[in-house]
Amino acid sequence: MEALRHMTAQLALDLVAVGLLTFALYYPRHRRRDLVPACLALNTGLFAVVTALAAVGGTGATALGFGLFGVLSIVRLRSDAVQQEEVAYYFTTLVLGLVCGLPSLAITVKAGLSAVLLLVLWAADSRSLPTRSRRTVVTLDTVHRDPAALRADLARRLGEPLHWTVMEVDYVRDLMVVDVRYLDPRHEPDAHPEAHPGTRLGTRPAAKTGTAPRTAAVCEPA
C-alpha cells in the first residue's frame, strides 16, 4: 500500500509538471496543437517504463533498460517539422518523465528538479529576450553571382543581413535559395503577426509581373 501511494504521488507530480510545461508554457507561446499529444504521450509513457523498471528489478530491469534505449533511439526529431526551441520542450518532457519515475529519489527532490527545469525553460523562451535577429529561408527569382549584389538585395527585402548561406542555385529556372540571418528593422515584434518570435510563416510566391521579383520566405527566430 505504501508503494502504491508513493507511485501515485510520483504520477501526480509528473502530470502536474508536464501539464504546466505543455499547457502553460509551450502551447500559449507556440500554438502547435499537434505536438501537445506527442509531448504528453512521451512523458507518461517514459514514466510508465521507468516505474516498470523499478518494479521488476534484477535481470528483468536490465532487459527493460535495453528496450527503453531501443525505443528512445527510434524517436526522430525531423528538423523540418520541429523547430529548435520546440526540441527543448520535447527534451524537457522526456527528462521530466525520467526524473519523476525514479524510485530512489525523494518526492521533494523530484519536485525541486521539476521546478528548476520549468523555470529554466520559461526564462530561456521568454518573450522579453531580444528578438530582432531573425532567420529566413528566401527563394529569389534571380541568381546573384556577386556577393555584394546578393547582400544588397537581401537588405532591401528583409533588413541588414548578418549571415547567409546559399542553399540552392537553379540556372534552369533562374532562382536561388538562401538561408539568411538578419536584423529585423521593425522594433515592435508584436506589431505584425509575421514578426512574432513564436510564429513560423510561409508566404506564397507572388506572380511574376516583371516589376517585382517573386520571393518565398519562411521566417523564424534565429
- Residues whose CB is less than 8 angstroms from the CB of residue 86 and which lie 6 or more positions away in sequence, other chains included: 26, 30, 32, 35
Q: What was the pLDDT predicted at 2?
A: 75
Q: What was the pLDDT predicted at 46?
A: 85
Residue entry with cell 502504491: 4
Q: What was the pLDDT predicted at 13?
A: 94
pTM higher than 0.85 = no
CA angle centred on 81, ends 76 and 85, rounded to 5°? 90
Q: What was the pLDDT predicted at 190?
A: 45
Q: What was the pLDDT predicted at 22?
A: 93
Q: Which of 179, 181, 182, 152 is nearest to 166 (CA)?
A: 179
Q: How far apart are CA 145 and CA 50, in angstroms?
A: 56
Domain boundaries, the chain: 2-124, 133-221
Q: What was the pLDDT predicted at 210?
A: 42
With a cut of 70, list the residues of the chain below it in pLDDT. 57-82, 128-132, 186-222
Q: What was the pLDDT predicted at 183?
A: 82
